[in-house]
Amino acid sequence: MSFVFELPEVGEGVVEAEVVSWHVNVGDSVNVDDPLCEITTDKAQLEISSPKSGTILRLHGEPGDIIKVHTPLVEIDESGAPAAPSAPAKAAAPAPSAPTPTPAPAPPPAPAAATNGVSSASALPSSDPSTRTSTKAAPAVRRHAREAGVDIHQVPGSGPGGRVTHDDIQSYQAPAAQASGALPVAAPALPQVLPSGAEERVKIVGIRRKIAEQMVKSKHTAPHFTYVEEVDCTKLVELRTALKPIAAAQGVKLTYIPLVMKAVSVVLRQFPNVNAVMDEDNFELVVKGDHNFGISCDTPNGLFVPVVKNIEQKSVLHIAAEMTDLVERTRAGKAKLDELRGGTFTLTSVGSIGGVFATPILNVPEVAILGVNAIRDAAVVRNGEVVVRKMMYLSPSFDHRVIDGAVGARFVAALKHVLENPEALLLELR
């Protein structure tokens, strides 16, 4: 019997999704909750799992195609279901040492898991790979297993209801890596070079497509201008050096970004219009009282901008702790949707990679973004003498429709003054 699985409703107001990649091919056998594909919407990237066991008859759409909600996604032949729940019990019955497993007392899978196919909503009763018929795991964990070359169905789950976690994947890998008494040494990877005259076409799909669309929208909507200023960060470096062990004693990693974020928040008191978003429909500048700062974050799934809320109410230590946690969860695919929205100002930094300065693109509808660049030793003139100082370029971009060049320059000058005299930030207890 053929079952047509339609794309489920994966979020409020979501009417379509883009196919990012397929995890199955026509002819493959699948069990309930096996991953079928990854999709992306305007709000999130999700993994869709199978609601039925059987054989894949047809896939609707290729990577990059747009699929409407409640239209066919996959067709499954249920007559050839590969692993019905009763099969393991019958096979194990003749062996006295392997009694037929009895149903666990845990509640059955939620109805939503059996109907909408979204893996994060499913529930399973067993953590033992030898007795369970499918595996419960978050999409990020399934991706972790695939990238590590681990069959997730063989991994014992330690989470609630037998859920497999990131730690379970790592624990499962460890014995294999140490079986020979030493960790294996990987052969050096050689760069893949295309032959002369060859070309390769890479389809732009998923998060990368969304990023591209957002960048085009930003450049076409807001006329940008970038203002570059050089800042003497010698005192800032000294302050961070002094505060690092204090922060570490409280389990907090202190980088330069939380100090810059707090400095920006202080300066925005003088320039509230910089902390604003554009209402394009009514062509109004919406000035925000909350300082919700986005942090451009490079992840395995593309560029995300998690948002640290209410900077104006928090100390540098509080900002550092919250930012570290949020960035780590974003890179692991665990950030909540609400933590990726609501920004009023964005900071982007590639200083750890290199470069002198960049011209960042606005994260519309915000009207300003701050490029924070590498701090370098440089020879500068002070009181008629050449000395070595810790120097950094700031390179903010502004929406010229609402932020004049003079306003942007004054904003940067005020920020420069705070960063060059950062001891005042210690008085900002909230």
pLDDT digits (tens, 9 = 90+) for 161-204: 677 887 888 888 766 555 545 555 555 566 677 788 888 888 88
Alpha-helical regions (H) of 223-271: 234-249, 256-268
Long-range pairs of 191-196 with CB within 8 A, sequence gap ≥ 24: none
The residues assigned a catalytic role are: 400, 404
Strand partners, 58: 75
How many angstroms separate the CA atoms of 275 and 346, rounded?
10
Q: What is the pLDDT of residues 225-265, one digit of tens each?
A: 999 999 999 999 999 999 999 999 999 999 999 999 999 99
Token pair, residue 415, equals: 């920020």
Who's near 14: CB < 8 A, 6+ residues apart? 41, 42, 43, 69
pLDDT tens digits, 377-387: 999 999 999 99
Q: Exposure string (b/e) for 314-326, b if CB count within 10 Å is 16 or more?
A: bebbbbbbbbbeb
Sequence-separated (6 or more) residues with CB below 8 Å from residue 357: 228, 371, 373, 393, 394, 395
pLDDT for res 190: 65
Which residue did the predictor score with more confidence, 346 or 152? 346
Distance from C-alpha of 328 to C-alpha of 312, rounded to nearest angstrom: 22
Q: How confident is the model at residue 123 (pLDDT cuts 50, 70, 90)?
A: very low
Query: pTM for this structure?
Result: 0.66
- Identify the sign of the CA torsion 302, 294, 275, 267: negative
Q: Which two tokens stand for residue 51?
A: 């609601």
